[in-house]
Amino acid sequence: MHNRYKDKVQFLAVYVREAHPSDGWASPGNEKVGIAFLQPRTLAERIGVAQKCSAALEINMPLLVDDVNDRVGHAYSGMPDRLYIIDRAGKVAYQGGRGPFGFKPGEMEQAVAMLLLDQESTTPLPQGRLPALQNSQAWKRLPATNDESAMLPAWARMLAGVMPKTTARMIELDAMHRTGTRLDAKLRAMMRWSAADENQCAAGRAFAERDLRDAGMSDSELHAFTSGGVRTRSAREGAALAFARKMMRAAHAVTDAEVKFLNDQFGEKQLVAMVALLAHASFQDRMLLALDAPAEKSPPLLAKFARPKRTDKKSLDKKSLDKTSLDKKSLDKKSLDKKSLDKKSLDKKSLDKKALDKKAKSQASSGPVVALPPRATTRPPGGVSVVDPQWRALGVMDLRSKMDAQKSRPPRIRVPTNDELRKAVPGEHRMAKGSKVVWSQVCYGYQPALTDAWFSSVSTFREEAKLDRVLQTSMFWVVTRALQCFY
């Protein structure tokens, strides 16, 4: 029950007076398995017994210890054991019977489920800059999935109403970067936290802190790490965390030597996984900041959403093709004649216009260059003029020279061959035919699943958002220029 509801319910266990001490009502069953303790007389003694109890039973929730005066045990009539649910208002929402016969976890779980449903319908959810749907409403908007019981993070509830398909793909992408064995779980979460901290994104830090706890980091270790009071365990770990911060702060300044060290320490596959993780962190943190999403320590959602079915070309019926195809013999000759262009009917003015255009182009190619009038500088009220003298100073030949220099640089990581690329992806994959795009070769060659998930998110967004192509490309240019990225 704790594993199922720990993201929504805070579980606490309270160790009270020993029910069957060896100097009291001793239990033969306990003695057979080596459980024999005197009734503790001091708080220190009781804590010692509680620690042994926690270790023996592998209790994975916080275990509190009642004082020797049994204040909590008496207040809740908790001897020998009892289950309670306290709601957010601090009131008892469920009281189980006294154990052992009244100890009924199944009954308690039903009460937990009902209470959560009531709270979802009545409790306002944290809001950002976009209205967030209730959890059940958001799930209804998303594509069908195998599990609709988990609590969606605020950012997903904000976007599910307007871009449900894109939201589903981003949930899957997020889960891939927070789970799996591509990177060590603790290092992966530490890198994600470092990136979010560099981006000053509280929501990103919260997700990473949740992953650090899931990876086994204790409260004291987490506090030491997030407060900067802990040194990394090794030079390779320190390099990875420094790389994460530098990729957020000034990716253009990352050096060949820094990448080579990481490649030597972690290998090509893990290095590409790191870069993909940080690319996702950069994108996600900016999305979270733009939405002003609240900080939530939500776990990754492992839901798999339905995808549009693709038509299998091999399964198409030949008769269906024949029926829908155009029959050349059935085409009406008169219809063709009517729709076809009659050379004799071309307007003389149209021909003259084409001749004039041709003449104008010829003159333009050989004539003097005429300076265009300066662009209007009038801007709407509140508009901001961005002055970029470094960019304005570059001419076409300067850009071409810089691009040629960039293309001639040796790559920082070995580029997989097309044969290796074909082996890394399924036979029907579009990359199975190979690629001439170097970064596609690298990403698909070393981390095909992560790369596929990224492209799926991007392509789904383009289809669903339907942004103006000029606006989209202009925004891409602004971001690229701001990052000083040659791409």
Structure confidence at residue 317 (pLDDT):
46
- pLDDT of the residue at 337: 52
* Domain edges within the chain: 2-122, 135-291, 389-482
Q: Which of 19, 27, 9, 35 has its CA nearest to residue 78?
A: 19
Distances (CA, A) of 391 to 379, 387, 424, 483: 21, 9, 40, 13
CATH superfamily of 2-122: Glutaredoxin (3.40.30.10)
Residue carrying the six token digits 């275990």: 63
Do 286 and 199 touch, CB atoms closer than 8 A? yes
Q: In sequence order, which residues have a C-beta less than 8 Å from that of residue 32 and are 6 or more positions away?
A: none
The per-residue DSSP string of 131-189 comes to: PPPPHHHHHHHSPPBS---SPPPHHHHHHTTT-HHHHHHHHHHHHHHHSSSSS-HHHHH
| pLDDT for res 369 | 37
The answer to whether 428 touches 452, Cβ cutoff 8 Å, is: no
Distance between CA atoms of residues 303 and 150, nearest Å: 9
Report mean pLDDT in 10-residue bins for the chain, 487 residues. 82 86 78 79 89 85 87 85 86 88 88 81 62 91 83 93 95 95 96 96 95 91 84 85 95 95 97 97 96 90 78 45 46 49 49 49 38 46 67 86 89 92 86 85 94 94 91 89 83
Residues contacting residue 461 through CB under 8 Å, at least 6 positions apart: 163, 166, 169
Considering the four listed CATH numbers 3.60.150.10, 3.40.50.2300, 3.20.20.370, 1.20.1290.10, the one that applies to the domain covering 135-291 is 1.20.1290.10
pLDDT of residue 326: 43
Q: By C-alpha distance, which of 146, 196, 203 is closest to 172?
A: 146
Distance of CA 228 to the CA centre of its chain: 25
